[in-house]
Amino acid sequence: MKNTSDMIEKYLKELLAQAAEIEIRRSEIAEHFGVVPSQINYVIKTRFTLPKGFEVESKRGGGGYIRIVRIQYSDAHDFLMDILAKMPEKMTVSMAQDLMQLMFNEKIVTEREGNLLLATLSHPVVTDLQRAILLTSMIHRLDKMD
């Protein structure tokens, strides 16, 4: 038999299978499963994380809710994750140019987008560490579909 956390996770994922975004009330879900609301928090914080493909937003108070959104990834998800896995901690301007060219060749960015990104990444005040951080953030954003 599965534990309560597994059952709550399964229930929420079944709701998400019907819609890419759900809004729930913590107290209602807790009552449904006969648990305390903190159990719902635990499940959401451990099983509905960004690395697992979910974004969570919560609003506390009388009209409070928890919104869980399943992230829809781009067709280039595996390619982009491979780039991130191999991304160095520090990135030179030359490396950033090569990466932008690769993403242009793979049709992940347009020529205009690549040039705009390069203008930002090539600025003299941007350090190699900052460049890698910015590129990592950009790749994560490029991977999400809107």
Which tens digits make up the pLDDT trace of 28-74?
999 999 999 889 989 999 999 877 778 899 887 666 789 999 887 77
| Host domain of residue 96 | 76-143
Among residues 70, 93, 123, the one where a domain terminates is 70
92 and 133 in a single domain? The answer is: yes
64 and 17 in a single domain? The answer is: yes
Residue 1 has pLDDT above 80, yes or no: no
Give the whole-angstrom CA distance, residue 67 versus residue 80.
27
Give the whole-angstrom CA distance, residue 25 versus residue 67.
9
pLDDT tens digits, one per residue of 93-138: 999 999 999 899 889 999 999 999 999 999 999 999 999 999 999 9
pLDDT tens digits, one per residue of 87-102: 999 999 999 999 999 8
Per-residue model confidence (pLDDT) at position 63: 61
pTM of the model: 0.57
Helices (H) and strands (E) in the chain, counts: 7, 3
